A and B are shown apart, each in its own frame.
Chain A
Amino acid sequence: MDYILNFENLDKDFLPLVGGKNANLGEMIKADIRVPPGFAVTTDSYKCFINSSEVSKKIFKILSSFDTKSVDSLNKASTEIQDLVNSAPIPKEVEDSVREGYAKLCQRCSVEILPVAVRSSATAEDLPAASFAGQQDTYLWVQGEDKIIQDVRRCWASLFTARAIDYRIKNNFPHERVLISVGIQEMVNSRTAGVMFTLNPTNGDESKIVIEGNWGLGETVVSGSVNPDKFVVDKVVLETTERAIAKKHIKCVYDPVREEVVNIDVEEDMQNKCCLNTQEITELAKIANNIESLYGRAMDIEWAIDDDLFYPENIFVVQARPETVWSRKKKGPVIGKKSGHQLLMEQAMKRIKISY
């Protein structure tokens, strides 16, 4: 049984054991894409936990006895299960593995108590992601073994949010078939972070990479709580063909006093300042190109730029997943099948409108 697995040992074949997110991180590390180190708490860990101390029995008893037609009843069942998951004892072998994995990660990064991100990683890739909203749990800047154990439990518990339970019932998806893995990844001390797409999400143009970023952690960009800076980069020549610098009011940072990540106001003089330099934009675009060719499809990528490191060692990819909106659309021809003569004749007839 592998209770934990280091990212660098993963690839897409590990998906049932570590979920999509973690498997992707492994694939990218294998392709020399800079990903912060970490490890996956496998579905075996989850299975081991759930099958011990009769946790699963209790869970399925609650699930089979609540009134599926009543929202109140559903919410109550969900709360009960989550409390159970958050409090039931974790088998020693699982807990020891996670603690040991973290200790090794700290050692590897030469930090006594390494801040990490704890993220759930779903295995049910064949179901629409949105329906598993509960599985998108992410805990940032988690420090210390105990806190990590606690957040691993929270990720496991996220399988039983009211929404997730409801969805499975409506889609006749057996509760016991759903498994979950958790990723534990070194936290990037990000100066700037955000997302990028390997196509232009505005119009589906596949010749562009669109990068959006803000100061601090990427959460403000992912959640849409700030207007990010936006850069459109040509995939072939890596030129920035469009840049829009937004007024960035807030940023997400770690607050050492409250020991959690918080949104704070951006300093006045930084609000209108571009959050990426030209070099970083080009490097991000190159990384996006690599990831796209690695997967052979349009991708949606989360990245971060570390404040403590120097270019290019400071640029990290923290997540990558397939782009779904435009990739599903069938695109017809833009110009159609035309000969050089036809195109030239059309050009000769053109007039450029001038408006002022």
Chain B
Amino acid sequence: MADEKAARFPDPHEYQIPPELEGWEEMYPSHYLFSKERGEWESNQFWYQDKIHAPEPMPPLDLIFQEAWQISLSQYTTRVFCIPPAQGIAQRMVGCYMYICAIAPPPEEIIREKAGLFEKRVFYVFEHYDELWEKWLTKFRALGEEMKSVEIPGKMPRYVPEDQVLPAPKGYYISYDIIEAFDKLVNMMFKGWQYHFEMLNLTYLAYLMFGDVSRNLFPGISESSIGKMVAGAYVSMFRPEEELCQLSRLASSMRGVSDIIKSDVSVKQKIAELNSIPDGKRWLEEFDKAKDPWFSVSCGSGWFHHEGSWITNLDIPYGYIKSYVERLEKGEKIERSLDELDKERDRTVAKYRELIKNDEDLKSFNDAHKTVRTIYRYAEDHLFWVEHWFHTIWFDKIRAFGRLMVDNGMLNETDDIFMFNRYEIPEILTELATGWALGVDIPLRSDYYKAKAQKRREILQAASEWSPTPALGIPPEEVAEPFTIMLWGVTTDKVKEWLKGVGEGRVEGMKEIKGFASSAGIIEGKARVLKKLKDIVEIQTGDILVCPTTNPSWAPVFTKIKAAVTDIGGLTSHAAIVCREYGIPSVTGTGISTSVIKTGDMIKVDGDTGVVTIVKKAV
């Protein structure tokens, strides 16, 4: 066995990166690189590729979300709620891919100290969850609104507007404003991510606790059954789709509106036509009401700028509404029965409860379930507000900066701004401010930035064609960090699987991929790999969907497919929940399915064990 002779993965300091990626290091902050100064510590830790948050090469500015979670996730475990034997999760970049490490437990005395703090601090959260959630949502929405209100100038004016000078000078001007605005955005992003983990670590801990209780009482119970007992239906992540259904019903009740919605013209033209009739105006008002916040939903995971969101791609919500209106006209049902989903969960819990034959265990089970249900909606709700709504606002603001740079000739295209990290952008903005302040005909280092953006795009492209090692360093003897277990599923099996993969390097030869067994059943069929939501039109009835991740933007697809496989997402991810609801198998969080599986491959999805097998490659 390969795992016996290679009891460790390559040393991070010796690991070779392909020459085509030359220059990758300068895309990321220096503390993200493996380094001599920290060499001994780094070599003794276990680093694995974070395929959940960073399945693809990291554009420099998109690293900000990772930077923010490294701090925030870790601090809640180590310094805020003090989960006794757990430490934080460290990150490093290796050739544009992110590796993470659950740091080994601290000395016993620290564990004891933290145990005292944990007891004192944690239970309050469970006892006051509803109240705390209300507070959380209020402050988080306020933060998002504040980010929205940050003004980014569309142009550098020839002269400062008169009202900023007379009757009294404002005192600071656009040269300062642009730098301040960017700093504000960065600060708010970090603050938002501090909020993100406010109750998430405890949520995961509660989930793991309930999982262990269930496994003790019902040995061999599947992960999907545990997920089924915990997941809720009335969560923010489902709202965007609900809103679409309501808009579709409204449209189909108004003849003129439904005719326009169904027509084959551009969204822009549809809006113009809707505006020309009274019903249309009314419908548009309703659309606008739903749009903020509910259509600020990413077409992907929310982690990458290139994914886009509904409000930046209105074709997507309009396309769905069109197909819903058509289905309504055929007399079909469009709403998903969330009530039914909730009832199904309660029925499942009740049936397991009946299997417990003694009162003591029954009490523990009931208490465990109540505890996890109290807090679990946090996992489901925060996701919409942070990764979708908040990130959508961020991308929108950053693009405004991108346009400003393009307008001043510093970049070729708006999205080139994402090729610079958050420390570099102030540098560019400072040069812009300086050039503007210096007067007219001041040369800027535009070609330098343009060339840099271009080179970085090439590096990212080269990186996407490279499959790096799944892990680096020495596997640990034990793991205590809740995210590491729940989100990344680092267990003996996983480590063994990675060890097997060492030396294989490439993914082409892989026949079997493992992930979460998130919706039961076994089925074989033709794979349809959809890397982007806009390719959705290609899906055929009876296909097996293979995609990076799904969210409500993908919902209408589920009525056509017979199984789903995702790269990202756990047992309570959108794909998992919807597949369970439709009774089709799914394997989620496989990390690599979209790069291993090709459209047309015959694959077998085993939702009972979480294994996807390539039965026959497409020719």
Are A and B bound to each other? yes
Which A residues fall within an 8 A CB radius of B? 200, 203, 205-208, 232, 234-237, 239-243, 278, 331-341, 343-356
> Which of B89-97, B357-365, B424-432 makes up part of the contact surface?
B357-365
Q: Which residue of A lies closest to B366 (CB)?
A: A340
10 further A-B pairs in the complex, CB-CB below 8 A; given A278-B522, A351-B480: A207-B219, A239-B222, A241-B221, A336-B361, A337-B360, A340-B371, A343-B371, A348-B84, A348-B115, A354-B478
Are B224 and A348 in contact, CB atoms less than 8 angstroms apart?
no
Are B360 and A336 in contact, CB atoms less than 8 angstroms apart?
yes
Chain B contacts for A348, CB-based, 8 A:
83-86, 115, 118, 122, 205
B567-593 contact mask (Cβ, 8 Å, vs A): 1 or 0: 000000000000000000000000000
Chain B contacts for A237, CB-based, 8 A:
222, 224-225, 228, 348, 520
Are A331 and B357 in contact, CB atoms less than 8 angstroms apart?
yes
Are B367 and A339 in contact, CB atoms less than 8 angstroms apart?
yes
> Which of B210-218, B398-406, B459-467 makes up part of the contact surface?
B210-218
Are B480 and A352 in contact, CB atoms less than 8 angstroms apart?
yes
Report the Cα distance A308→B522, complex, angstroms: 25
- The 7 A-B residue pairs with the shortest CB-CB distance, nearest first, are A340-B371, A347-B209, A207-B218, A337-B360, A239-B520, A340-B367, A351-B478
- B501: interface (CB < 8 Å): no
Q: Which residue of A lies closest to B371 (CB)?
A: A340
A353 and B492 in contact, given A203-B219, A236-B225, A335-B216 (Cβ under 8 angstroms): yes
Report the Cα distance A337→B365, complex, angstroms: 9
Are A333 and B206 in contact, CB atoms less than 8 angstroms apart?
no
Chain B contacts for A343, CB-based, 8 A:
209, 213, 364, 367-368, 371
Q: Which residue of A lies closest to B607 (CB)?
A: A239
Are B491 and A236 in contact, CB atoms less than 8 angstroms apart?
no
B497 nearest CB across to chain A (Å): 10
- B208: interface (CB < 8 Å): yes
Are B84 and A356 in contact, CB atoms less than 8 angstroms apart?
no
Chain B contacts for A338, CB-based, 8 A:
363-364, 367
- B156: interface (CB < 8 Å): no
Report the Cα distance A169→B393, complex, angstroms: 89
Chain A contacts for B86, CB-based, 8 A:
348
Report the Cα distance A232→B218, complex, angstroms: 12
Q: Which residue of B lies closest to A202 (CB)?
A: B219
Report the Cα distance A345→B492, complex, angstroms: 24
Chain A contacts for B29, CB-based, 8 A:
none
19 residue pairs bridging A and B, Cβ less than 8 Å apart: A207-B219, A234-B221, A235-B351, A240-B608, A241-B220, A241-B222, A334-B216, A335-B213, A335-B364, A337-B364, A338-B363, A341-B126, A347-B209, A347-B212, A348-B86, A351-B480, A352-B491, A356-B3, A356-B492
A354 and B348 in contact, given A205-B220, A349-B85 (Cβ under 8 angstroms): no
Chain A contacts for B359, CB-based, 8 A:
337
Chain B contacts for A208, CB-based, 8 A:
218-220
Report the Cα distance A278→B604, complex, angstroms: 13
Are A335 and B361 in contact, CB atoms less than 8 angstroms apart?
yes
- B444: interface (CB < 8 Å): no
Report which of B224, B358, B479, B490 forms a contact with A332, defined as CB distance below 8 A: B358
Report the Cα distance A60→B364, complex, angstroms: 61
Are B220 and A334 in contact, CB atoms less than 8 angstroms apart?
no
Report the Cα distance A221→B131, complex, angstroms: 59
Report the Cα distance A203→B492, complex, angstroms: 24
Report the Cα distance A352→B494, complex, angstroms: 13
Chain A contacts for B126, CB-based, 8 A:
340-341, 344
A356 and B7 in contact, given A236-B225, A337-B364, A347-B205 (Cβ under 8 angstroms): yes
A355 nearest CB across to chain B (Å): 5
Report the Cα distance A255→B520, complex, angstroms: 40
Report the Cα distance A237→B229, complex, angstroms: 11
Chain A contacts for B479, CB-based, 8 A:
351-352, 354
A205 and B358 in contact, given A343-B367, A343-B368 (Cβ under 8 angstroms): no
Are B119 and A333 in contact, CB atoms less than 8 angstroms apart?
no
A311 nearest CB across to chain B (Å): 16
Chain B contacts for A349, CB-based, 8 A:
84-85, 115
Are B371 and A344 in contact, CB atoms less than 8 angstroms apart?
yes
Report the Cα distance A241→B363, complex, angstroms: 26
Are B225 and A206 in contact, CB atoms less than 8 angstroms apart?
no
Chain A contacts for B367, CB-based, 8 A:
338-340, 343
Report which of B85, B221, B475, B495 forms a contact with A351, defined as CB distance below 8 A: B85
A329 nearest CB across to chain B (Å): 11
Are B209 and A344 in contact, CB atoms less than 8 angstroms apart?
yes
Report the Cα distance A339→B370, complex, angstroms: 10
Report the Cα distance A341→B213, complex, angstroms: 13
Are A356 and B351 in contact, CB atoms less than 8 angstroms apart?
no
Chain B contacts for A232, CB-based, 8 A:
220
Are B520 and A341 in contact, CB atoms less than 8 angstroms apart?
no
Report the Cα distance A80→B96, complex, angstroms: 89
Chain B contacts for A203, CB-based, 8 A:
219
Report which of A236, A337, A345 forms a contact with B355, defined as CB distance below 8 A: A236
Chain A contacts for B123, CB-based, 8 A:
341, 344
Are B476 and A354 in contact, CB atoms less than 8 angstroms apart?
yes
Report which of B84, B358, B364, B521 forms a contact with A278, defined as CB distance below 8 A: B521
Chain B contacts for A350, CB-based, 8 A:
85, 208, 212, 480
Q: Which residue of A lies closest to B480 (CB)?
A: A351
- B499: interface (CB < 8 Å): yes
Report the Cα distance A259→B56, complex, angstroms: 67
Report the Cα distance A9→B122, complex, angstroms: 63
Report which of A200, A239, A334, A351 forms a contact with B217, defined as CB distance below 8 A: A334
B123 nearest CB across to chain A (Å): 6
A334 and B361 in contact, given A345-B118, A345-B119 (Cβ under 8 angstroms): yes
Report the Cα distance A247→B613, complex, angstroms: 22
A80 nearest CB across to chain B (Å): 50
A223 nearest CB across to chain B (Å): 27
Q: Which residue of B lies closest to A278 (CB)?
A: B522
Are B371 and A242 in contact, CB atoms less than 8 angstroms apart?
no
Are B355 and A235 in contact, CB atoms less than 8 angstroms apart?
yes
User: In the complex, which of the residues B118, B122, B123, B361 has the most CB atoms of chain A within 10 Å of its own CB atom?
Assistant: B361
Report the Cα distance A232→B609, complex, angstroms: 13
Report the Cα distance A336→B361, complex, angstroms: 5
- B105: interface (CB < 8 Å): yes
Chain A contacts for B491, CB-based, 8 A:
352, 354
Report the Cα distance A343→B370, complex, angstroms: 12
- B32: interface (CB < 8 Å): no
